[in-house]
C-alpha cells in the first residue's frame, strides 16, 4: 500500500480513471499480501503437523523405552533373586555334602582302627600258633 496518493482533479472531483486504477492496484497489492500470508500460514501449519507427528513419535518411543526399562529391571531383579536362591541352595547342599563326607571319613577311620585291632589280635594269634607249631616241630625233630 503506497501511502498517500494525489489524484488529478476533474470537473466534479477526482478523475475516475485514476481513482479506479489506484483502487485496483491497492486491491492487487492486498491480494498478493493476503496470498503470501496464506502461504505462510499453510507453511506454518505444515511445519506444525510435522513437528507434532515427530513429537507424537518421540512420545511413543519414550513410553516404549520406559516400558522396556521396567521389563528389563524386573527381569534383572528376578534373575538376581533366582541366582541368590541357587547360590544359597548350592551352599546348603555343599554343607550337607561336607557333613556326609566328614561322617564317612569318621566311619572309615573307625573301621581302620577296628581293622588294626583285628590285625593285632590276628598277629598275636598267629605268633602264638607259630610258637605252638614250632614247639611241636621241635618235639618231632627231637623224637
Q: What is the full per-residue pLDDT of the chain (143 aa) written as tens digits? A: 445 556 566 666 677 788 888 889 999 999 999 999 999 999 999 999 999 999 999 999 999 999 999 999 999 999 999 999 999 999 999 999 999 999 999 999 999 999 999 999 999 999 988 888 888 888 878 76
- Residue 3 lies inside a defined structural domain of this protein: no
What range does the domain containing 134 cover? 9-142
Write out the H or E segment, with its range, that includes residue 97. Answer: helix 16-142
Write out the H or E segment, with its range, that includes residue 5. Answer: none
The pLDDT value given to residue 6 = 60
- Residue 4 lies inside a defined structural domain of this protein: no
Handedness of CA 38, 40, 45, 46 (dihedral sign): positive
- Residue 2 lies inside a defined structural domain of this protein: no
* Domains in the chain, number: 1
Judged by DSSP in three states, 3 sits in coil
- Residue 113 lies inside a defined structural domain of this protein: yes
Q: Is 5:22 a contact under the CB 8 Å cutoff?
A: yes
- Residue 14 lies inside a defined structural domain of this protein: yes
- Residue 84 lies inside a defined structural domain of this protein: yes
Q: How distant, in Å, are the alpha carbons of 73, 129, 136 from that of 139?
A: 96, 15, 5
Q: Is 14 exposed, middle or buried (0-12, 13-18, 19+ CB in 10 A)?
A: middle
Q: Which residue has the cell 547360590?
A: 87
Cell numbers given for 137: 616241630
Cell numbers given for 71: 521389563
- Residue 1 lies inside a defined structural domain of this protein: no
The pLDDT value given to residue 1 = 42
Amino acid at each position: 500500500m503506497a501511502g498517500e496518493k494525489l489524484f488529478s482533479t476533474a470537473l466534479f472531483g477526482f478523475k475516475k480513471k485514476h481513482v479506479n486504477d489506484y483502487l485496483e492496484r491497492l486491491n492487487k497489492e492486498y491480494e498478493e499480501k493476503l496470498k503470501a500470508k496464506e502461504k505462510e500460514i499453510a507453511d506454518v501449519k505444515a511445519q506444525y503437523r510435522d513437528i507434532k507427528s515427530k513429537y507424537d513419535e518421540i512420545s511413543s518411543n519414550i513410553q516404549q523405552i520406559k516400558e522396556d526399562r521396567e521389563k528389563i529391571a524386573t527381569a534383572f531383579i528376578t534373575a538376581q533373586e533366582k541366582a541368590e536362591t541357587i547360590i544359597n541352595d548350592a551352599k546348603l547342599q555343599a554343607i550337607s555334602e561336607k557333613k556326609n563326607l566328614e561322617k564317612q571319613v569318621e566311619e572309615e577311620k573307625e573301621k581302620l582302627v577296628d581293622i588294626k585291632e583285628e590285625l593285632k589280635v590276628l598277629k598275636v594269634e598267629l605268633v602264638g600258633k607259630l610258637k605252638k607249631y614250632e614247639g611241636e616241630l621241635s618235639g618231632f625233630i627231637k623224637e
